[in-house]
Chains A and B, each alone.
Chain A
């Protein structure tokens, strides 16, 4: 993995002086980073700091306000089949009676016109559901699935097109602690073992620590990146936010970030990230 880190030729994502935002509103600027093939990257930062903006830019849904951003050496474009995406928002609720298999196969066929044949994509959908360990959920109604089960379905939907880059927006948000680490393991096992690059937006870094190569920290109008051990230190976060912040480790190596409460606009952040997980 290490050999990829500084190898810009093989970079899956390359950002040079990128400025992110919408219209006249800059959310962050001066983003410079390169992500190598097969890296597992956590994207951290307070709510509203622009993490999803970064994803939308990579998906070609928003253009950089300035700077150069490339994916696989080309400018981002909508509908890039090399990217798999799991958004944070899904219109599925308990009334959704459609089965999981149908959603997964739409990941392959949904952007084509016409009705397609009745069994188109079924074989591929079943195969990818097996890969994520959710074969038995294939014919269950989406509305009847738990948060953890749904995340597996969404992962399958993103993987069915065999992407080289996977963008996951807060996939751990509704999972309890055990399911969090199971899901991270699953991503690590099935996705990363195939050389797929993963960017994952998260609020809590702890379940990710065992598998993480790199952290992108979006905060205070800036985008910082580096190895977890470099970025998640009292000094680097204090510099990043411009206020005193302390990173505390417990005996298991888990991390708590303390001190965000001095800026009212980061309220959510204290809540989500200052929370020390105390049980296994």
Chain B
């Protein structure tokens, strides 16, 4: 399996994305911002499709559109995460725009398919490098913002009174989601991004009480699902995304069932 470049690149990019998605995902679930994350991935689709149309690397389009979208959502204010009607309206429009770009491109339908559902086996060494750099920037940023981010997530008004800027933390967090989404799209695509960014973190929230451990659990689940998906797909001719989403869903289902059973006793 390792003799193939595409497999090595897939594992490298998959590993990097799983770690980042696990970390950012923990905060997404804690802040109840999963809809904003969902919206950003769709906004990113329009950007990626536009980039394809212009003959630019899709990741550039993704970064530009998700960052712009993330900033706009943050500007909506403190209650941005719950503004689902406004966000949903923009989301639908962006998806439509993406469809237009793809049809204008009139090239291969596979391009749209890989944006929507991921094409990890087509990742180049250049893509891996971009992913790695983005991931390092994200890691450093999260490390710097860690405590204020946690504080504003759990007790916004007290954090504000203590001098933390709710607005700027909100903007920074939306940009973190934007960049994470942009690199995660390569692995699972726009439509399946929840599998890496929300499901592992949701399991972590249900099984841990301390944020540091929660982040660790979230990362481990995302990592195992990605590795398992890649490994199986090497031998079975079905999409990697399917195996990754199935793995995280299985963990989620198992944890919820186990907790429901335990609660009944």
Contact = CB atoms under 8 A, between A and B. Distances in A.
- Best-buried of A86, A98, A116 by chain B (most CB within 10 Å): A98
Interface in B13-45: 30, 32
Interface in A80-104: 83, 85-87, 89-92, 95-99, 102-103
B163 A106 contact: no
Interface majority SS (helix, strand, loop, mixed), chain B: helix
A61 interface: yes
B154 interface: yes
B234 interface: no
Interface majority SS (helix, strand, loop, mixed), chain A: loop
Contact of A157 (B30, B144, B153, B155): B155
A218 B156 CA distance: 26
Contacts of A61: 160-161
Contact of B151 (A78, A99, A106): A106
A59 interface: yes
B208 A78 contact: no
A279 interface: no
- Best-buried of A79, A106, A113, A142 by chain B (most CB within 10 Å): A106
B85 interface: no
A24 interface: no
A114 B143 contact: yes
B211 A98 contact: yes
Contacts of B238: none
Contacts of A113: 144-145, 147-148
B210 A98 contact: yes
B159 to A, nearest CB: 6
A115 B146 contact: yes
A79 B151 CA distance: 14
Nearest to A118: B212
A252 interface: no
A91 to B, nearest CB: 6
Interface residues of B, number: 31
Contact of B147 (A96, A109, A118): A109
Interface in B141-195: 143-148, 150-151, 153-164
B157 to A, nearest CB: 4
Given A98-B30, A114-B144, A85 B154 contact: no
A110 B154 CA distance: 10
A111 B156 CA distance: 11
Contacts of A3: none
A141 interface: yes
Contact of B164 (A102, A103, A111): A111
B209 A139 contact: yes
Contacts of A96: 30, 154
A46 interface: no
Nearest to B156: A91
A85 B161 CA distance: 8
B241 interface: no
Nearest to A95: B205
B209 A111 contact: no
B153 to A, nearest CB: 7
Given A96-B154, A98-B154, A103-B154, A111 B143 contact: no
B206 interface: yes
B216 to A, nearest CB: 12
Interface string B71-100: 000000000000000000000000000000
Interface string A139-182: 10110000000000000011000000000000000000000000
Nearest to A59: B161
Contacts of A158: 158
A99 B208 CA distance: 9
B210 A157 contact: no
A141 B214 CA distance: 13
B165 to A, nearest CB: 9
A107 interface: yes
Contacts of B209: 97-99, 102, 139, 141
B174 to A, nearest CB: 17
Given A91-B155, A139-B209, A112 B161 contact: no
Interface of B: 30, 32, 143-148, 150-151, 153-164, 205-212, 214
Given A98-B209, A116-B147, 13 more contacts: A78-B162, A79-B161, A90-B155, A91-B153, A91-B156, A95-B205, A97-B207, A98-B210, A103-B154, A103-B155, A106-B151, A110-B155, A113-B145
27 contacts: A59-B161, A78-B160, A78-B161, A79-B162, A83-B161, A91-B153, A92-B154, A95-B205, A96-B154, A97-B206, A98-B154, A106-B147, A106-B151, A107-B158, A109-B147, A110-B147, A110-B148, A110-B164, A111-B147, A113-B144, A113-B148, A114-B144, A114-B146, A114-B147, A115-B147, A141-B209, A157-B155
